[in-house]
Amino acid sequence: MGRPIVDLTGERFGSLIAVEVQARSGRRPSWKCRCDCGEFTFATNGELRSGRKPSCGACAAIRVKAAQESHGFGVKGEACVNHKHGHAARGCHTKEYRAWASMIARCELPSQRSYPEYGGRGIRVCDRWHASFEAFLDDVGPAPSSGHTMDRRDNDKGYEPGNVRWATASAQANNKRGSVKISYDGETKTVAEWAQAIGVKYATLWARIFVHEWPLDRALALP
């Protein structure tokens, strides 16, 4: 006999409220849920409790599209409105604007390849930034250079003031969960820090150590 079904009726999970269980022979039971947008969808107990399915999906896509269009960020090939901030002029989607739109998409659209690492594990965009690109730009500021991309200081927290910055690839590599550290000659550094110290690219040093398996005294030799 299978395990008893935990009653989730009436409980809220993100934008979804569990309405009734849908038991299916030979398969895990799923819950019929009503989304805040009025649509119905189905989700398993695990999807609801883990946050992997915070909405029906359709409304998330609508919200992202509405946010993009309200600020002049259309899909590829569409004209964009030239707003006062200058980041969505016709045919000119800046780094800051693309970062803002992508941030919302990966946190809200299950169809996005990166969704499991963001929205799927509970990472959210704060209301202030979700509603306004201008607010996001005011808080974060423009990217210092073409080599900077958006990064979260604490990867377990969401996109919100104080937790987001523009950072170089090297800084982001140091900030990733599980950054690999290498100890050599009495010093311990991340791979990115060692690469910077000896003047080689991060990818080059990584390949030397973990792909080609060079000894450290050779891998860390100055180029």
Of 61-70, 118-127, 184-193, the one with minimum mean pLDDT is: 61-70
Rounded to whole angstroms, how far apart are CA atoms 185 and 195? 15
Give me the residue spans of the domains in the chain: 12-50, 58-167, 181-219
Mean pLDDT value of segment 30-46: 80
DSSP annotation of 209: I
Q: What is the rounded distance in angstroms from the CA atom of residue 142 to the CA atom of residue 62? A: 27
Tokens for 96, please give them. 């800051």
In this prediction, residue 86 carries a pLDDT of 53
Residue 122 CB neighbour total at 10 angstroms:
15
- pTM for the predicted model, two decimal places: 0.47
What is the tens place of the pLDDT at every residue in 112-148? 777 887 888 888 999 899 888 899 999 999 988 877 7
Residues forming beta bridges with residue 21, ordered by sequence position: 31
| Report for 49-63, 82-96, 206-220: range of highest mean pLDDT | 206-220
Does the pLDDT of residue 159 top 90, yes or no?
yes
The first and second tokens of residue 32, run together, are: 């019929």
